[in-house]
Amino acid sequence: MIHVTLLAHTPEPEKMAAAAARLCYSPAGIDELLEGMTGERTASFVDMLSEIGHESPVEHASFTFGIEGVSRSLLAQITRHRMASFSVQSQRYVTEDRFEYVVPPEIEALPEARAEFLRAMEEDQRHYERLTALLKEKHLQEKLDAGMDQKAAARAAEKQAIEDARFILPNACTTKMMVTMNARSLRHFFRLRCCNRAQWEIRELAEQMCALCRAVAPHLFRNAGPACVSGSCPEGKMSCGRAQEMRERYMLPEQGR
């Protein structure tokens, strides 16, 4: 199950974006940028940026997430978002003993498919452990013959073994990561990945991340969500046809008044 934690963010992220906007649109000096920046004035600046489509000031606010319970398949998708920083648990250095995995909902819902999937995961685990053992034995002997002491040789042999044994592991295998994005990149990420046409796993991740962002910076993320929340659907003939439903779902309470 996906679990997302907002580990850190720019202190007063909306105020930082508002200060950057103030710098762009007024003669204020650097020392004056935060003077008189009340909550109301901050909100006004941030809302103005959204209205006119000026995105660069919001890049000064960044957010760091801890993410668990996602598949390596999701990892391949999220790292396509280039304006982000990623730290991912390595399968080269971490042994996948009884690896955990993600079961797609459609497979989970069909008993026969679920049983087949679980058998495949168990088989992958057996192959991984067998390959690791065979490779470790080979590398250990080579390192001992080269004069390495037993403890160091065993440690090095295991690392070398799992480096190749990991090739048998499935996309379903779970991973953990830390991800940092600035607010502009996050808003773009939400436009793409909160969409009903996004793959289910990354959509669930994006929805959790979006909720965490809106809790600490509601004005910065007031129109966050799929593209149809703040404009027309970009999917054309492939649209889900549920734009109004999505707007109502992502609308903040104050927007509904």
CB-CB contact of 67 with 176 (8 Å): yes
CB-CB contact of 16 with 37 (8 Å): no
> Would you call 187 helix, strand, or coil by DSSP?
helix
Sign of CA dihedral 237, 238, 241, 247: negative
Integer Cα distance of 91 and 96 in angstroms: 7
The tokens for 129 are: 């452990």
Contacts of 170 (CB under 8 A, 6+ apart): 72, 101, 120, 121, 124
CB-CB contact of 99 with 174 (8 Å): yes
Residues involved in catalysis: 193
Tokens 């941030």 belong to residue = 46
Integer Cα distance of 70 and 193 in angstroms: 15
Q: Find, among 216, 170, 190, 177, the residue nearest to 17 by Cα.
A: 216
Integer angstrom CA distances of residue 138 from 92, 132, 154:
17, 10, 11
